């Protein structure tokens, strides 16, 4: 099991958090997603993910990962 934390730009409300959670949570191998709106951080527990997969999922939800 692996846990990674990412910074997401543009999330401002519960709808934003739900969108990111749904897109990232749908990735194969993801077991948990936690979004902290106050910090803009998304913590993902998985069986091993490529960060590019997370970036694409976040972009699909309409947001971007901070560099």
Domain of 32, in residue numbers? 2-65
Kindly report the pTM of this predicted structure.
Answer: 0.92
Asked if residue 9 lies in contact with residue 64, where contact means CB atoms within 8 angstroms, the answer is yes
Residues 2-34 pLDDT 10s:
999 999 999 999 999 999 999 999 999 999 999
Element (H, E) at 58: helix 51-60
Question: For residue 36, what is the domain's CATH number?
Answer: 3.30.70.100
How many domains are contained in the chain? 1
């Amino acid at each position: 099991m692996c846990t990674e934390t990412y910074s997401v730009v543009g999330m401002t409300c519960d709808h934003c958090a739900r969108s990111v959670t749904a897109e990232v949570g749908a990735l194969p191998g993801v077991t948990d997603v936690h979004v902290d709106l106050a910090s803009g951080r998304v913590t993902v527990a998985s069986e091993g993910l490529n960060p590019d997969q997370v970036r694409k999922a976040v972009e699909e939800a309409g947001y971007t990962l901070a560099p």
